[in-house]
Copies of this chain bind each other. A is one copy, B any other.
Amino acid sequence: MKNILAELITIGDEILYGQILDTNTQWMSIALDKIGVRVIRRVTVGDEAEIILKAFEEAEARADIILITGGLGPTSDDLTKPLLAKYFNSGISMHPQALAEVSDLFARMGRELTELNRQQAALPEACTMISNTLGTAPGMWFERGKKVFVSMPGVPYEMKSMMTLEILPKLQQFFTTPIIYHRMIKTAGIGESWLADKIQEWEVQLPLHIKLAYLPTLGQVRLRLTATGTDLAELRQDVAQEVQKLLPLAGKYIYGYDQDTLEGAVGNALKETGKTIAVAESCTGGAVSKLITSTPGSSAYFQGSIIPYHNSLKINVLHVAKETIEEFGAVSEQTVIEMANHVRTLMHADIGVATSGIAGPTGGTPEKPVGTIWIAYADGEQTITKKLAYAKDREININLTCIAVLNLVRQNLEVNMEKKLG
């Protein structure tokens, strides 16, 4: 089956100048992917007639579907409608249904219809109107041969509503689309190239209709499997089979799939095992706690935290022995061992974790340079410590430490991730 290809054109100086973050194209990409349409290009251009017309032409040569957002406002710098009329050799005239809908919208808001807004109901005769239930600019659907152009407002909620209610169903009707199935495998605790080494054999034996991509983020690597075919159930099964083969090679680094987060995986593992956690964090200054509590419902397993930033509080509030800090320093294995165990007891938690280190950019010494961080995990039966050695950036050091702490908890909860395979 031939792939159906789409190109997304965004029109507007405000996007090019960086005054607005474009979140529309990501949303559209995901929505199109789900109906088996492959986005092959995104283009953003400014409010200039010739450049926009050229972009239409280039897109028509490459793609089957051209989705255009922006440039539909009522003012003179909004060019999309007249340019589409020109591109499709079409006159523009008042569209009775569009006029009725915009009049109705203004009536509901208790406002008078201005002439500028009335003119938004005039549409190219060559197009089919797409209703805009949330704003004043209707969408426009054009067909030429086997290609479709659709123009929508750039306002995110208006675009999303039009796509969902009318455009996606119309596209599925117009084209016969292949099925594309994605599965994201999420890992922590291993770098991209080490992971690639470990799973090399598995990667080369993947069937031709399943493709692998490495998507690294800070401290984590995601593996994306993309299967293309005609039967969703079959694709799901094929991918699940490949994931099964992957588990013996990399299972201990895999914390979840698709929308799962590491903090969510830790939360689920705590819930499943019925355990609670408390945190004593020094150099991370609240970042570990913030991550844990970013998950709704975390009050079921998160007891609380102590952030003894000043050393005297490590002693007075967290009861780390004064001698420990004097002999080994606040950034030491001995100190985090006491911190993790004491916060666990003090907060009546099953598990205590601790961080102490030099986040930077200052405070380093030759023996303990910036980026030297100790972490500890204690559960009453065992205490596990780990020394981390990162680079100079404060924010990165804090974020990497959070991931290391959460991953340490996850690994020790020994939840068998295999049973989570959907």
Residue A391 at the B interface, CB < 8 A? yes
By the criterion CB–CB under 8 Å, are A114 and B389 in contact?
A: no
Choose, from A14-22, A91-99, A122-130, A227-235, the stretch at the interface.
A14-22
Decide yes or no whether A302 CB sits under 8 A from chain B.
yes
Q: Are A192 and B313 in contact (CB under 8 A)?
A: no
Query: A389 touches which one: B17, B108, B391 (CB < 8 A)?
Result: B108
* A171 beta carbon closer than 8 Å to chain B: no
> Are B42 and A29 in contact (CB-based, < 8 A)?
no
**A189 at interface (Cβ–Cβ under 8 A)?**
no
CA A394 – CA B74 in complex, angstroms?
26
Cα-based distance from A45 to B38 in the complex (angstroms): 12
Pairwise interchain contact B29-A40, C-beta atoms closer than 8 A:
no
Whether the pair B287, A215 counts as a contact (CB closer than 8 A) is no
Taking CB atoms and an 8 Å cut-off, the chain A residues in 112-170 that contact chain B are 114, 116-117, 133-134, 155, 157
Of A239-247, A292-300, A333-341, A403-411, the one touching chain B? A292-300
Number of interface residues of A (CB under 8 A): 107
How far apart sit A75 and B196, CA to CA, in the bound complex (Å)? 8
Given A75-B196, A305-B306, verify A41-B43 contact (CB < 8 Å).
yes
Flag if A108 contacts B391 (CB, 8 Å): yes
Q: Any chain B CB within 8 A of the CB of A44?
A: yes
Q: In angstroms, how far is the closest chain B Cβ from the Cβ of A116?
A: 4
Contact of A364 with B by CB under 8 A:
no
Listed by A's residue number, 24 A-B pairs whose Cβ atoms lie within 8 Å are A16-B40, A17-B30, A17-B226, A22-B22, A22-B25, A22-B26, A40-B45, A41-B45, A42-B44, A73-B216, A109-B389, A116-B196, A134-B393, A155-B216, A157-B218, A279-B307, A284-B290, A286-B307, A289-B290, A289-B307, A304-B307, A306-B307, A306-B317, A317-B347
Interface residues of A (CB under 8 A from B): 10, 13-23, 25-30, 33, 38-46, 51, 73-75, 77, 105, 108-111, 114, 116-117, 133-134, 155, 157, 182, 184, 191-194, 196-197, 213-218, 224, 226, 279, 281, 284-294, 296-299, 302-310, 312-313, 317, 346-348, 360-363, 371, 389-396, 398
